[in-house]
Amino acid sequence: MAETVKYLDVWAPTGRKRMRDGVEKDEPWSKVGAAFPFKDGTGFSIKLSALPLNGELIVKPPLPKDIDKIPEGI
């Protein structure tokens, strides 16, 4: 049986690069919120902490290391 989704991460594309430990790394997305499924499974409640400048959002399951953490304060 499939596991019920607790939430999905909401990301905004940034296309920026950052220096980490002297190495330039791509950071193509920035986490801007979470999407919580309705109990009846018909949709999502989306809570954002920021708005993307280009109007584009990406919704994906949380990373394995974050799967059991439910976001607070978004």
Strand-pair partners of 11: 31, 58
Q: What is the pLDDT of residues 33-59, one digit of tens each?
A: 999 999 998 999 999 999 888 889 999
| Residue 51 within a domain | yes
DSSP letter at 50 equals: S
| Residue 69 within a domain | no
Q: What is the pLDDT of residues 4-38, one digit of tens each?
A: 668 999 999 887 777 778 888 777 888 999 999 99
Output the pLDDT for position 42: 93
- Collapsing DSSP to helix, strand or coil, 65 comes out as helix
| Residue 34 within a domain | yes
Q: Which structural domain, as residue segments, surrounds residue 48?
A: 10-16+26-61
| Residue 66 within a domain | no
**How many other C-beta atoms can be found within 10 angstroms of the C-beta atom of residue 48?**
14
**Is the model's pLDDT at 71 over the cut of 80?**
no
Distance CA 50, CA 48 (A): 5
Domain count for the chain, please give it. Answer: 1
